Amino acid sequence: EDQVTQSPEALRLQEGESSSLNCSYTVSGLRGLFWYRQDPGKGPEFLFTLYSAGEEKEKERLKATLTKKESFLHITAPKPEDSATYLCAVHYYSGGYQKVTFGIGTKLQVIP
């Protein structure tokens, strides 16, 4: 079964305490993996797209990496404004159709 699993479900960090969020997937025919940030009451906001294993992308304090089975979103020295839910989504082929499946997300809280 095609699945996208994010861990942990929730993460509480002190300001400046670096950590990583995980997105693991069991799909075949990967076309791309997306990371989004979602603030309460708002729609998801695009962060990164990764297409192949070994690829890395960075934006400010965030760095996304991709392997054949999972992706990590590394947060370096987070600030309170990084508090949000981070979603990953996988674009893949299944049964001849293109599909996009989202994970449930990791809710990050950064405490001053």
Question: At closest approach, how far in Å is the CB of 43 from other proteins?
Answer: 3
Token pair of 51, please? 């297409």
Burial of residue 63 (CB within 10 Å: 0-12, 13-18, 19+) is: middle
Sites for other proteins among residues 48-107 (CB under 8 A): 49, 87, 89, 91, 98, 100-105
Nearest to other proteins of 104, 111 (CB atom): 104
Q: Which of 7, 22, 24, 32 binds other proteins (CB under 8 A)?
A: 32
Nearest to other proteins of 34, 72 (CB atom): 34
Strands 45-50 and 97-102: unpaired
Q: d(Cα 46, Cα 55) in Å, to the nearest integer?
A: 17
